[in-house]
């Protein structure tokens, strides 16, 4: 039985038909993701082990610079856990947004030769990022547990909804960025710098509440509006058993739903324009 042709949407058609077709072909995204992971691990002598070492090395560099040299850890007995939880979670968003944003351009040959809903390519990139993030949690739990006794407990149940909401948010961002990168290739080069600025405006390296004690109210509101502030708050509740706030939940859920809906609908409406930019 041959595959049904991919739906060609115009701006006047209902994206729900397109998304229904994408769901029917969802296994394609899984196969693309697994193929990318196999290619990535086969080209490295350490294979899957590198997926755990890479975030640890990055965390060690940040700990040396911000925890030791700049003494950002003052007043926090478990700064290692605080830093790694924020860094690993933010890296998940950063890498999926960048890889998902570039996936249409990097898979132009596949788009030209195969018929499938193109939305599955950013989905595959997010799947790869999700697997890498889950793998990075293994050394995190060992380090947090051995250094400060932060072993998994009942609070760790928050990890699942936090992960789901962040994954929804990441997919929405990937779809939005992918639509911009195809006609404007330079955006892919700029994204690395923009995400770096975003990281320093997020509570990855420092606690947001401590740094904003003497800040004007409008500054506090703007920084709390940052979706990563809420998402990281959920992760620190799940991983470090730190007290959360109500806005962590409603802000994370709101950003996840809005980003995903806008990303899916706009991507479905623009897919028919891809060939003119990728040919």
The answer to whether residue 219 sits within a structural domain is yes
Whose CA is closest to 238, among 169, 150, 166, 171? 150
260-272 pLDDT, tens digit per residue, is: 999 999 998 888 7
The answer to whether residue 53 sits within a structural domain is no
The pLDDT of residue 4 is 42
pLDDT band at 5 (very low <50, low <70, confident <90, very high): very low
The answer to whether residue 208 sits within a structural domain is yes
With tokens 């998940």, the residue in question is 92
For the chain, what is the mean pLDDT? 85
Question: What does the CA dihedral 266, 106, 96, 265 come to, rounded to 10 degrees?
Answer: 10
Mean of the pLDDT values across residues 173-184?
92
Between 192 and 158, the more confident residue is 158
User: Residue 156 above 90 pLDDT?
Assistant: yes
Percent of the chain with pLDDT over 70: 90
The pLDDT of residue 11 is 46
How many CA atoms within 13 Å lie on the side-chain side of 52? 12
Burial 39-76 (b: 16+ CB within 10 A, else e): eeeeeeeeeeebbbebbeeebeebbeebbeeeebbeee
User: Residue 13 above 80 pLDDT?
Assistant: no
Between 159 and 75, the more confident residue is 159
pLDDT band at 240 (very low <50, low <70, confident <90, very high): very high
Full residue range of the structural domain in which residue 228 is found:
79-278
The answer to whether residue 268 sits within a structural domain is yes
Q: Which of 17-26, 153-162, 205-214 has the lowest mean pLDDT?
A: 205-214
The pLDDT of residue 19 is 84
Percent of the chain with pLDDT over 90: 44
183-203 pLDDT, tens digit per residue, is: 888 888 899 899 999 998 898
d(CA 181, CA 191): 10
Return the SS3 of 235.
helix
Number of domains in the chain: 1
Q: In Å, what is the CA distance from 258 to each residue of 114, 124, 269? A: 30, 20, 17
The pLDDT of residue 16 is 79
User: Residue 12 above 60 pLDDT?
Assistant: no
Between 228 and 182, the more confident residue is 228
The answer to whether residue 36 sits within a structural domain is no
Between 207 and 12, the more confident residue is 207
Q: Which helix (H) or strand (E) holds 31?
A: helix 26-42
31-69 pLDDT, tens digit per residue, is: 999 988 887 777 666 666 777 788 788 888 888 888 778
The pLDDT of residue 109 is 84
Q: Which of 6-10, 148-152, 224-228 has the lowest mean pLDDT?
A: 6-10
């Amino acid at each position: 039985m041959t595959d049904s042709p991919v739906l060609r949407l115009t701006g006047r058609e209902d994206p729900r038909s397109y998304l229904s077709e994408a769901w029917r072909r969802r296994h394609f995204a899984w196969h693309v993701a697994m193929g990318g992971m196999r290619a990535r691990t086969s080209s490295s002598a350490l294979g899957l082990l590198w997926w755990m070492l890479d975030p640890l090395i990055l965390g060690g560099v940040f700990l040396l610079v911000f925890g030791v040299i700049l003494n950002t850890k003052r007043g926090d007995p478990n700064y290692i856990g605080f830093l790694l939880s924020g860094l690993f979670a933010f890296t998940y968003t950063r890498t999926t947004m960048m890889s998902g944003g570039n996936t249409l351009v990097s898979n132009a040959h596949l788009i030209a030769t195969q018929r499938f809903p193109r939305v599955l390519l950013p989905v595959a990139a997010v799947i790869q990022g999700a697997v890498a993030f889950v793998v990075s949690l293994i050394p995190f739990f060992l380090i947090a547990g051995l250094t400060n006794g932060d072993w998994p407990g009942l609070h760790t149940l928050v990890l699942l909804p936090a992960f789901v909401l962040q994954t929804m948010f990441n997919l929405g961002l990937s779809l939005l960025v992918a639509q911009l990168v195809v006609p404007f290739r330079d955006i892919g080069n700029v994204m690395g710098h923009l995400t770096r600025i975003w990281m320093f405006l997020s509570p990855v390296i420092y606690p947001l509440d401590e740094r904003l004690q003497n800040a004007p109210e409008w500054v506090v509101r703007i920084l709390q509006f940052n979706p990563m502030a809420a998402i990281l708050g959920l992760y620190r509740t799940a991983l470090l058993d730190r007290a959360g706030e109500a806005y962590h939940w409603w802000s994370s859920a709101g950003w996840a739903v809005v980003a995903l809906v806008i990303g899916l609908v706009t991507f479905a409406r623009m897919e028919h324009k891809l060939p003119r930019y990728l040919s």
